[in-house]
Amino acid sequence: MRDLAALKQEVDDWKAIEIRVVELSEMLDLAIEERDGSLLDSFSEEHAEIEAKLSGLEFKLMLSGEFDDRDSIIALHSGADGVDSHRRIP
């Protein structure tokens, strides 16, 4: 089971994203209302930062299964048999 502190941190990260998205929405409304190009530039930068943070959180969520915190061994074996070894890939 994951540590309580790690779970709290994950919840805090998601809440922070939610707050930033609400603020970003308000910034966009203000930029449109005032027709302010500098606010639109700030919006674009902030949007990119939020998107990067969200991608990281989604990746962590994808790897949050029961056994995802354990080590694993992956073995790759090349072979000369099978259908794929005789097929040409353009």
Give me the residue spans of the domains in the chain. 4-62
User: Per the confidence metrics, is the pTM higher than 0.85?
Assistant: no
Q: Place 72 in a pLDDT band, splitting at 50, 70 and 90.
A: confident
CA distance 16 to 49: 12
pLDDT single digits (tens) 12-51:
999 999 999 999 999 888 888 888 888 888 888 999 999 9
More confident residue, 76 or 50: 50
- For the cut 70, the answer to whether the pLDDT of residue 83 exceeds it is no
Three-class SS of residue 63?
Answer: coil
pLDDT single digits (tens) 60-70:
888 877 777 77
